[in-house]
Copies of this chain bind each other. A is one copy, B any other.
Amino acid sequence: MSDLEVIALSPEQEQLRYTFGGGEPLLRVQQGTVVELTTEDCFGGRVRSAEDLPSQVCEFPYLNPVTGPIHVEGAEPGDTLAVHLVEITPARDWAVSATFPHFGALTATHNTAMLHEPLEEVVWVYEVDRKRGTCLFRPRRGGPEVELPLDPMHGTIGVAPAGGEVFASITPGAHGGNMDTPEMRAGTTAYFRVNVPGGQLSLGDGHCRQGEGEVCGTAVEASMRTVVVVDLIKGGGPAWPRIESDEYLMSTGSTRPLEDAYRVSQHDLVTWAAQLTGWDSLDAYQLVSQAGLAPAGNVVDTNYTMVAKLAKKYLGSGAVVADGAHDRLRETAATYLSQR
């Protein structure tokens, strides 16, 4: 496929961004372009050993850096930006996780404000074995070690928000952002509504793997080498980010309380299923009630994220998303991988 355009994007430390919205694009691409990029970990690479406490070595607001924004030529408000994640590979042979003062689901936070002292700040360093596809959990105070399978994903991916807003990269919302769902893995296509010209795609916060909910507040945090293909569908921009894999359609909702995140994601999945099949919305409500899945994304960030999942096989052959963008992007990815 001689016309496959491949561009490398590896920002310097001072080129990293910490918001969605605002600032000039770091790169401009045509739709269909493959971008080989690198992302730094959520600590900006500053936490490298158990002695590097995040609260000491990191500096607010220089947390959770993202690579981008990438301006997609021709993207206009209301369009759909389709981002296919071709490959996500840990860039180093180690990764880290930590408790962070007043951050996490089982601790008092700045919003769930309490009179408790913070939980102890502890760092875990994971050995990453890319060949065997594992990362090694070493408890800090004894007990069994656990070898966990790698399942790399991006916690943070999204576009510039609407209405001139600028959000910290740690905030998830209708623009995407720090949704922290393990579903954002290689092989999937994420759909975002374009809010500003060019869409302004950014991503970061790579995780070697993450549990649903990210309960302690951080995953197995790693710098990543990631390959994406960006595509553009005119119009049809979804109100909230959606994800398509070979097997599933997924809607996201990022807000508080968690039941509202659930409502947003299920409402989007129900109306999406109705639109794809021709079902009345109450019929789609019924089918999703029996066949839908509802895993937590995160329950720790400034908004919480729920994912609503439905197996594509239940929607019939007539249900085609975004003009078949996912299949098309899968082919582009296959071509790219075979040529590399």
The interface of chain A, by Cβ under 8 A from chain B, is: 18-19, 21-22, 60-61, 97, 99, 104-108, 110-117, 119-120, 122, 124, 137, 139-144, 146, 148, 162-168, 209-220, 239, 253, 255-260, 262-264, 266-268, 270, 277-283, 285-296, 299, 304, 306, 314-316, 318
Contacts and interface: CB of A to CB of B under 8 A. Distances in A.
A272 B105 CA distance: 17
A315 to B, nearest CB: 7
Given A144-B318, A295-B294, A18 B163 contact: yes
Contacts of A105: 259, 262-263, 266
Contacts of A140: 280, 282-283
B277 A209 contact: no
A211 B292 contact: yes
Contacts of A209: 290-291
A255 B171 CA distance: 13
A83 B263 CA distance: 33
Contacts of A259: 105, 256-258, 299, 304
Nearest to A315: B144
Contacts of A264: 110-111, 113
Contact of A115 (B144, B210, B277, B281): B281
Given A112-B263, A144-B315, A165-B167, 9 more contacts: A60-B163, A106-B285, A112-B112, A115-B282, A124-B286, A142-B278, A146-B314, A165-B168, A256-B259
10 contacts: A22-B166, A61-B164, A105-B262, A142-B280, A143-B283, A144-B316, A165-B167, A165-B168, A211-B290, A259-B304
A281 B292 CA distance: 33
Contacts of A268: 113
Chain A to chain B: the 5 pairs with minimum beta-carbon distance, closest first: A61-B163, A258-B258, A113-B267, A139-B283, A256-B256
A166 B164 contact: yes
A248 to B, nearest CB: 13
B211 A288 contact: yes
A142 to B, nearest CB: 7
Contacts of A290: 97, 137, 148, 209-211, 219-220
B280 A165 contact: no
A53 to B, nearest CB: 14
A68 B247 CA distance: 41
Contacts of A113: 106, 253, 260, 263-264, 266-268
A133 to B, nearest CB: 15
A23 to B, nearest CB: 9
Contacts of A315: 144
Contacts of A258: 257-259, 262
A112 B22 contact: no
- Which one of A110, A256, A259 has the highest number of Cβ atoms from chain B below 10 Å of its Cβ? A259
A174 to B, nearest CB: 8
Contacts of A266: 105-106, 113, 213, 215
A146 B117 CA distance: 27
Nearest to A296: B294
A253 B216 CA distance: 17
